[in-house]
Amino acid sequence: MKFDLNPYNLDTKKMIRIPLFILVICIGILFSFFVIYDTPVRLGYDFTGGTVITVPSTKDVGYLEEKYQAYDLLFVRDMGSRTMLQFGFIDPDKGKELRESIIQEYGEENVQLDYSGATFGEEMQRLAIIAIIFSFILMAIVVFVAFRIPLPSCMITFCALSDIIMAMAMMDIFGIELTLGSLAALLMLIGYSVDTDILLTNKVLKEGKNTKDDFKRIFNTGFTMTTTTLVAVVVMFIVSTFSYLFTSYTQITILSEMSAVLIFGLLADMLNTWLMNAGFLRLYIDKRGKRR
Amino acid sequence: MNKLFKSIRFWILIILVILSIFLIHPTVSDGRFKTNLNFGLDLDGGSYLRLRADAVVVSVDLDKNLVSKAFLEELIGGKVTIVSLDDNGIVFTTDKEVPQEILSSYGLTVESEDGKIRMPISYERIVAIYLSEKLNAEVIPVVEDNTLRYEIRKTVDRDEIEKVIQPVGGKLTYYDDRASNSTLEQTKTMLEKKLNALGSKDIVIRTIGNKYILIDLAGVNLSDTEKIVSTPGVFEIRIMADDGQYKKILSGDDIAEVDPAPRSEDGIIWGAGFTLNEAGASKFRNACIRYNAVNDPEKHPIAMYLDGELVYSAPLSPDLASMLKDEKVYSLFARTGIGDTGKMEARNLIIHLSTGVLPVKLITETSGQVPATLGDQFKKEIVLIIILAIIAVSIITGYRYKEYKIVLPMLSISFSEVLIIVGISKLPLIGWQLDLPSIAGIIGIIGTGIDQLIIITDDMLSEEKDKEQQIKKKQTKRRIKTYEKRLTNAFKIIFISAATTSFAMLPLLVMGLGKLTGFALTIIIGVLIGVLVTRPAYGGILRDIMISNKE
């Protein structure tokens, strides 16, 4: 494959400024969501408590909306051969009533149902934050131990942070809630998105490959890496989200959310690795060279 | 290529792939493709429940004198003066009458000796009863980690307990909203017993941390699962007296054992077998004689009640009736009917029979069900995703390398990696259920796996052009050395990135965050297999290909 795009052609400062600018915008998005909704990303039923029910497809959304309005129905969504109804957290007795009514209408064997309690949701929020922090710390420890050079290691960790922030901002833009699925994807991004940074930093600093041609070669490798993962994840996204358009299949929500977040993160990673980290490494080598 | 077949790395891979295929055990029967794999509920259909005990465990540091006095005053309802206090009990005086019925409800006794009253009681019982009276909940002393704690069988918050222990000079030294380990374990065992009787092919019940009980039931819907779990079993066996009324003769305590599964002596008539204990057997015989069931079984049928509801009734069989005339009978068999209906009813009866009251109330934290038909559809979609993902990855790698000698090994390695992960999921001890998140993990591993193969390939090929000239004239031996060095370089990067990916997944694995354990496990195992088995094998294959290309 011939890649004529070589970010190395850009001015070093520009290389760093572009992703930083985007990062600032993303932080702005997360902050405004925090101001409006109290959380930087909107929380799904796993974290707030609530009920998600899918039933064999009904086109009459208005009927569903009217019938279940009393149960804190948040939204009704068409997902192919099935229709999804999402409810907020209601007291258990009412929840039972809702369930019985749905089962009566569609038959026990046709109803998919997931319920999560409100207190449990709070506990999960706490655990999710702990999981993200620990994931991040463990990843950072591996990076620092592996490279033993403080500044570039910090940069790799910073790139991972930036990947996560950008992915979360895109979740806000595209209306994807934080569920267990998207949380898993974020955690995977923490460990995985640094792969290309590790490749780049190792090649440039440890193997001493820092000419323009070297950079182009590393970029080719890294770009192919991200592309292969990206296509695998895009396939997962398309099949789990849109296959119902041309088959009798149903959306698989958890896979759809996971793949969307992974796609966001991988795209962010391209920016952060090949502009921010690469720009930083060029500056770092220049400075180091001058000192010598 | 001959060298390849001498390489240990290569053979380890081949052996693992064969073992995995053996574990997956794909077969085709009735035109349907079948495997031996354990799928999660979201793919097989079924229901799940995550339950928390309605209880808290606390440790308190109290003033012995104050709490003993408060405890007695609470029981007696009047002023009490403590005379002495030691490990054997309390000696006290009071103007009030000591209410016997309250004492006996706690199994306590008192004896009077010259105006003083002596009550033998241990300190932890004093505290337990005091807390129980004050909080209006059952309180049990438990020993955990060599520390005395109290299990309060009701969710009470910290402040409420502090309010209750403050007057007796108390300090709350430990608080956790869970049941004690032994209670949770006991509850789990009882639930297991109840659910096993349901005859589902696949029941997973486990405790998470020391807080939750998780139940996964394949092929059973949520309503049925909940009914079984929440059924508080007050079980009674009654007999019909001459006046046409049923009289209670046995309770659940009189049953020593219940057969775990329906039984049939002739394959037609089904029923549930159970065994009475000593006291139960003699009570049963006495009642049958007293109500004359031994002579006239048809007029005095035996009935079983669960929570006051009739669940079974039948007369004594003639054989049993005549046997009871002579001796106690321990082993009983309740016939339920013929065929599948009879078997089904026997199964339900077994659940009723083995139902003891759970020690704590359970609160549902999460629950849900997936219809089996939907699970089947998901499976098809997943197969489609995996096939399309591999095709998409082939196209990218094919376009990049344009050399089947590189692309083909790359894809076979990636595919064998998937096989090995899936195979490992069947292993005992570390095995797990393949649910939707695990499948997402597999897709992720296809992606990351190919990444690392690309790093190896590019490293091996990269300097090709620069150094080709130099190497050309040198011997093969020297060339192998160069390739080995490049491999080592590539592996450095691979090890670091494998470590970051798997370490970042560790918190998810350890914390048991809902349904994500399978995802974390799949990724970690996939990464390990990659680093330890498939990458080294690929490195070897690629090196041999490049050497043989040169020769």
Query: Would you tell me the crossing angle of helices B8-24 and B535-550 to the nearest 10 degrees?
Result: 130
- Can you give the C-alpha Rg of chain B in angstroms? 34
Interface size A-B, in CB pairs within 8 Å, comes to 229
Q: For the segment B73-97, what is each residue's pLDDT rounded down to a tens digit?
A: 888 888 888 888 888 889 988 888 8
The answer, for A111 touching chain B at a CB cutoff of 8 Å, is yes
CA distance B227 to A198: 53
Residue-level pLDDT at A1: 40
Mutate to test the interface with B, among A90, A129, A192 (most CBs of B within 10 A): A192
CA distance B318 to B293: 10
Assess whether pLDDT exceeds 80 at residue B474: no
Question: To the nearest 5 percent, what fractions of chain B are helix, strand and coil?
Answer: 55, 25, 25
Over residues B398-402, the mean pLDDT reads 89
Residue-level pLDDT at A63: 84
Low-confidence ranges of chain A (pLDDT < 50): 1-3
Quote ipTM for the complex.
0.91
Nearest to B370 among A103, A112, A183 (CB): A112
B299-323 b/e (C-beta count within 10 Å ≥ 16 → b): ebbbbbbbeeeebbeebbeeebbee
Helices (H), B172-264: 181-196, 222-230
> Do A185 and A257 form a contact (C-beta atoms < 8 A)?
yes
Q: What domains appear along chain A, each with residue ranges and CATH number?
A: 7-43+119-290 (1.20.1640.10), 50-116 (3.30.70.260)
Antiparallel, parallel or unpaired: β B89-94 and B46-53: unpaired
> Do B386 and A229 form a contact (C-beta atoms < 8 A)?
no
Contacts of B384 in chain A (CB under 8 A): 239, 243
- Which range, of A109-113, B149-153, B264-268, B502-506, averages the lowest pLDDT? B264-268
Over residues B473-494, the mean pLDDT reads 74
Highest mean pLDDT out of B332-336, B423-427, B547-551: B423-427
Asked if B507 and A258 come within 8 Å (Cβ–Cβ), the reply is no
- Calculate the alpha carbon distances from B91 to B114, B168, B540 in Å: 11, 19, 84
Over residues B311-327, the mean pLDDT reads 87
The three-point CA angle B83-B86-B89 to 5° equals 80
Residue-level pLDDT at B465: 53
Domain ranges of chain B: 4-45+371-549, 56-181, 235-341
> Do A90 and A98 form a contact (C-beta atoms < 8 A)?
yes
Residue-level pLDDT at B112: 84
- Which range, of B1-5, B240-244, B289-293, averages the lowest pLDDT? B1-5
CA distance A141 to A153: 9
Q: For the segment B179-191, what is each residue's pLDDT rounded down to a tens digit?
A: 988 788 878 877 8
Residue-level pLDDT at B105: 65
Q: Which chain A residue's Cα is nearest to B458? A: A221
The three-point CA angle A108-A110-A111 to 5° equals 75
Q: For the segment B41-55, what is each residue's pLDDT rounded down to a tens digit?
A: 888 888 999 999 889
Q: What percent of chain B has pLDDT over 90?
A: 19
- Calculate the alpha carbon distances from A22 to A27, A167, A172, B435 in Å: 9, 12, 15, 36
The three-point CA angle B398-B403-B404 to 5° equals 80
CATH of B4-45+371-549, picked from 3.30.830.10, 1.20.1640.10, 1.10.357.10, 3.40.47.10, is 1.20.1640.10
Residue-level pLDDT at A183: 94
pLDDT-based confidence at residue B19 (cuts at 50, 70, 90) = very high
Joined together, the tokens standing for residue B263 give 């039984």
Nearest to A235 among B369, B389, B444 (CB): B389
Assess whether pLDDT exceeds 60 at residue B197: yes
Joined together, the tokens standing for residue B153 give 């069988």
Nearest to B366 among A120, A146, A233 (CB): A120
Asked if B222 and A113 come within 8 Å (Cβ–Cβ), the reply is yes
Residue-level pLDDT at B228: 79
- Which range, of A269-273, B286-290, B417-421, B435-439, averages the lowest pLDDT? B286-290
Nearest to A143 among B42, B436, B500 (CB): B500
Name the residue with higher pLDDT: A30 or B547: A30
Q: How far is B371 from chain A (nearest CA, A)?
A: 6
Name the residue with higher pLDDT: B448 or B175: B175
CA distance B430 to B424: 8
- Calculate the alpha carbon distances from A243 to A133, B90, B206, B381 in Å: 35, 76, 36, 8
Please choose, from the candidates B429, B449, B444, the residue with its C-alpha nearest in 3D space to the C-alpha of residue B520: B444
Q: How far is A120 from chain B (nearest CA, A)?
A: 6
pLDDT-based confidence at residue B5 (cuts at 50, 70, 90) = low
Residue-level pLDDT at B260: 66
Q: For the segment A61-113, what is each residue's pLDDT rounded down to a tens digit?
A: 888 888 888 888 988 888 878 889 999 988 888 888 898 899 888 888 889 99
Average pLDDT, chain B: 84
B324-352 b/e (C-beta count within 10 Å ≥ 16 → b): beeeebeebebbbeeeeebbebbbbbbbb
Over residues B428-454, the mean pLDDT reads 89
Q: How far apart are the first and last CA of chain A?
A: 38
Residue-level pLDDT at A3: 46
Quote the pTM value: 0.80
Q: Which residues, numbered 168 to 187 in chain A, qualify as contacts with chain B under a Cβ-Cβ cut-off of 8 Å?
A: 180-181, 183-185, 187
Nearest to B437 among A81, A139, A184 (CB): A184
pLDDT-based confidence at residue B357 (cuts at 50, 70, 90) = low
Residue-level pLDDT at B196: 72
pLDDT-based confidence at residue B103 (cuts at 50, 70, 90) = confident
pLDDT-based confidence at residue B233 (cuts at 50, 70, 90) = low
Asked if A127 and B513 come within 8 Å (Cβ–Cβ), the reply is yes
